[in-house]
Amino acid sequence: MSRPGSSRRSSRGHRRRESCADGKGEEPKSSSPVPSPGSWNVDRGRSRVRRPSNPFSEDNLRRRGYHSLLSSFGKVFHVERRWKLIREMGSGAYGVVISAADEISGETVAIKLVTRVFEKIQLAKRALREITLLRHFANHENITGLIDVDAISPDFNEIYIFMEPMEADLHQIIKSGQHLTNEHVQYFLYQILRGMKYVHSASVIHRDLKPGNLLVNADCELKICDFGLSRGFDARPDEYASQLTEYVATRWYRAPEIMLAFRRYNTAIDVWSIGCILAELLLGKPLFKGKDYVDQLNKVLDVLGTPDESVIRKVGSDKAQAYVRSLPFKKAVPLRKILPTADPQALDLLSKMLAFDPSDRITVPEALEHPWLTSYHDISDEPDCPQKFERWREIERLNTLEEFREALWNEIEDYRKEVRGIDTHSPDQLFRIPSIGGTRGGESPPQPSQATLPAVPPDVLMPTASVDENKTFVSSPEVILEREGLSRRLEAAKAEIERRPSMSPDLLRRHAEVRHIILLCLHRSTSHPLWRGMSVRNLLNWNLHLRLGRWSFPPKGTLYQHDHGQDLP
């Protein structure tokens, strides 16, 4: 017996199928998430359209040799598997920085995760400026070195910037309250000026100098970082002059010409910021600690006094001119009253840096020649940048987020090819040795040649055969280590060295074999993306130190820092 209503449902379904079959009707849509039998053909057709996979899924990350690191700041870092989290170093409005170690090479780096890159054009511009300028200023001792840049996919929204690791920043040093001697302050200031001379000589204004953007190590080495607000400039008026914005520099280090909207500003705004940093080093706290825009200007006028009428007329805004004129006349306060224990020569330099009128302000090269810095000043060791930074115009012409996305992706790919030394056109050439930060902006990278390689002794033959480009090379470090026996040979040789006071003939032979394998790895990498086991630079340094009879590596000039190693006799 059929159930009541079953015939009605059957005839209704029959009519619906007929209607769909002759093309005069449509399949009714169901709100149920589970597909009904009548809609199977439609759903099956939809299933053929493949949705783009999530590049951050664990399967996709694993397939590409990446994994996820979770920092205590709540940010997830998607980086190559070889990188392991050491500690969190800091966080800001647009990024998080961690310290990470390479499990294979032992290299330690700082990884800066820049988030929200394409939330708005200004953030994309910051990211592009930082990468291009770090590339341009490569190899200067007082500018943070760029090691690598990465992004997961072309439709990325975050960037990973790999930089030289530093132990702290100047803000942390000042905030800790530890006593800084006159010599400490001199040395810090000298390094800031030395780095900024290089920056200014490339026609670039940093525009965000502050203690938090000055990284330091325990040996007082200082490096300037964070070029996201920097931009190039031209001495002559141009179409971009009116685009110089007042929304640069952290408020306490912001020059008067920015606050009062002078018609143009230049490198003098960086000198003002350096003066504020010098005052903070001497005072132990910020000199001009304004609560807001107006209060900041008042704090400056309280110390420097009311500016002359000739200076007020340079102010670009009539309202700002009227405001300054409306304030009661203020006398300048001698810096000796604010900093009674400071060196008089330091105060003289500070007064020249904090001149209200930018045209009266000392320049960076002039500051380096000041008597207070005589003990450090050496013009032969204070280089100018060999190339002007011309790409700022190209960056300023970008108008849409898609243009910035394409420019950033191209920049990342270009830099990775440069820093990993891949030369696909000439398989017979060895990779060049990439120094930290790559090449100076505008310079051609040094061409690799046999003359640049360590000399090879008679017992180790340098492979000279051309690489077969049709041969498939495996990029997995585990496979390469297994294939060449490098790991086993190194461990055996090292154990032998540590066990015996002198080298046996067998150890000498094994020592030569290891070097031969290293050179073989170098040669095989010429027409193939460098395997993740080790950089060419490390391989060459390792080869050189093996040749010199050492298993220990110097702390600088190489990414290997095995201080516990024992020298070979």
Please write the tens of the pLDDT for every residue from 145-204: 999 898 877 778 889 999 998 988 999 999 988 888 999 999 999 999 999 999 999 999
Looking at residue 70, what is its pLDDT? 74
Residue 448 falls inside a structural domain: no
350, 426: one domain: no
Q: Show Cβ contacts of residue 235 under 8 Å, excluding neighbours closer than 6 positions.
A: 203
User: 101: burial class by Cβ within 10 Å (0-12, 13-18, 19+)?
Assistant: middle
**Three-state DSSP class for residue 86:** strand
The domain boundary residue, chosen from 363, 388, 413: 388
Task: Give the helix ranges, DSSP H, for 203-338.
Answer: 256-259, 268-283, 293-304, 309-312, 318-326, 335-338
User: 462: burial class by Cβ within 10 Å (0-12, 13-18, 19+)?
Assistant: middle
Q: Which residues are catalytic?
A: 208
Q: What is the Cα–Cα distance from 260 to 237, expressed in whole angstroms?
A: 20
299, 321: one domain: yes
**Three-state DSSP class for residue 262:** strand
The domain boundary residue, chosen from 368, 388, 408: 388
Identify residue 406 by its one-letter amino acid code.
E
Residue 447 falls inside a structural domain: no
- CA 174 to each of CA 223, 226, 442: distance values in angstroms, whole numbers, following the listed order: 16, 19, 37
Max CA separation in the chain (angstroms): 111
Q: What are phi and psi of 536, to 5 degrees?
A: -60, -40
Q: What is the Cα–Cα distance from 77 to 113, expressed in whole angstroms?
A: 7
- The angle at the Cα of 404, spanning 147 to 406, to the nearest 5 degrees, equals 75
In terms of phi and psi (left: phi > 0; alpha: psi -120 to 50; beta: otherwise), the region of 131 is alpha
The full DSSP string for 26-73 is: -PPPP--SSPPGGGHHHHHHHHTSPPPPPTTSHHHHHHTTEEEEE-TT
DSSP-assigned letter for residue 320: H
15, 71: one domain: no
124, 10: one domain: no
DSSP-assigned letter for residue 81: T
Residue 354 falls inside a structural domain: yes
366, 398: one domain: no
Residue 270 falls inside a structural domain: yes
**Three-state DSSP class for residue 163:** strand
In the chain, the number of structural domains is: 4
- E-assigned strand segments in 62-151: 66-70, 76-80, 83-91, 95-102, 108-114, 146-150
Quick one: tokens of 311?
Answer: 């200076």
Q: Show Cβ contacts of residue 312 under 8 Å, excluding neighbours closer than 6 positions.
A: 321, 324, 325
Domain that holds residue 7: 1-28+38-43
Give the count of alpha carbons within 13 A of 141, CB side only.
12
Q: Which pairs count as long-range contacts for 451-455, CB under 8 Å and 24+ apart, including other chains?
A: 453/540, 454/540, 454/543, 454/544, 454/547, 455/547
The domain boundary residue, chosen from 419, 442, 465: 442
Looking at residue 212, what is its pLDDT? 92
136, 176: one domain: no
**Three-state DSSP class for residue 214:** strand
**What is the CATH classification number for the domain harbouring 263?**
1.10.510.10
CB atoms within 10 A of CB 371: 10
Residue 21 falls inside a structural domain: yes
- Please name every residue paired with 88 in a beta bridge, in sequence order, or none if there are none: 98
Q: Which pairs count as long-range contacts for 450-455, CB under 8 Å and 24+ apart, including other chains?
A: 453/540, 454/540, 454/543, 454/544, 454/547, 455/547
CB atoms within 10 A of CB 119: 12
Q: What is the Cα–Cα distance from 104 to 82, expressed in whole angstroms?
A: 7
In terms of phi and psi (left: phi > 0; alpha: psi -120 to 50; beta: otherwise), the region of 106 is left
Residue 348 falls inside a structural domain: yes
- E-assigned strand segments in 172-213: 204-205
- 8 Å CB contact between 211 and 174: yes
Residue 33 falls inside a structural domain: no
Quick one: tokens of 518?
Answer: 């290293």
406, 551: one domain: no
105, 156: one domain: yes
Quick one: tokens of 375?
Answer: 């003990």
287, 262: one domain: yes
Residue 215 falls inside a structural domain: yes
**Which pLDDT tens digit goes with each residue over 392-441?**
888 888 989 999 999 999 999 888 888 765 443 333 332 222 333 333 33
- CA 163 to each of CA 3, 80, 147, 203, 444: distance values in angstroms, whole numbers, following the listed order: 75, 15, 5, 23, 22
Looking at residue 446, what is its pLDDT? 36
CB atoms within 10 A of CB 320: 16
Residues of the chain where predicted confidence (pLDDT) is lower than 70: 1-58, 71-74, 93-94, 234-249, 420-569
245, 272: one domain: yes
Quick one: tokens of 155?
Answer: 């439709």
310, 414: one domain: no
**Three-state DSSP class for residue 83:** strand
187, 225: one domain: yes
